[in-house]
Amino acid sequence: MIHRGLILSVGGALLLGTGPGDSEELEFAPRQVIDKRFPAIKSPPRRPAGKARMRDDELLIGVLLNGEACAYPINMLTGPTREIINDKVGGRAIAATW
């Protein structure tokens, strides 16, 4: 698919192509769909692989950082309040999302 609005990210600046309508391409226009505050999910409980309550065919996002592996099952990362998990893996602060 060919798009007219070519976006180049140069040195942190966002340059938009100049066709009609292109400026709308990435104009930030969020829409409030849930009018409620949700606290961030931080350092959720974990289990070692041997004690995991997982089905073999369940999808996950796996991350390996500085030798530490952790799996974030997509079935636990889905839904309006659950899309982001704040955690620490291999000494690094991460936001698990997909």
Partner 1 sequence: MYASEVGGRRLNFTVSGMLWKRSLVMRDEETGSLWSHQLGRAMRGELEGAELEMLPSTMTDWASWKRRHPETAVIDLRRTAADFTRKLQQEAGRYVLGLEGRHTNRAYPYDTARKMGVINDTLDGQPLLVTYDPAGASANAFVRELPGREGEPVQFAPQGTDSMRDSLTGSRWDRQSGRAIDGEKKGAALKRLPGVPSFARAWNDFHPGSSTYGE
Considering only residues 17-46, where is the footprint of partner 1 by CB under 8 A? Answer: 17, 25-26, 28-42, 44-46
Contact 71, 62 (CB under 8 A): yes
Tokens matching residue 50: 């041997």
Residue 70 CB, nearest approach to partner 1 (Å): 5
Least distance CB 23 / partner 1 (angstroms)? 12
11 binds partner 1 (CB under 8 A): no
Angstrom CA distances, 43 to 9, 22, 54, stand at: 33, 41, 19
Polymer length in residues for the chain: 98
* Candidate list 11, 20, 66, 80; residue touching partner 1; CB under 8 A: 80
| Nearest Cα to Cα of residue 89 among 72, 69, 59 | 69
Place of tokens 């070519």: 6
Residue 95 makes contact with partner 1 by CB under 8 A: yes
Which residues in 43-62 contact partner 1 (CB under 8 A)? 44-49, 52-62
Q: Which of 11, 18, 23, 76 binds partner 1 (CB under 8 A)?
A: 76
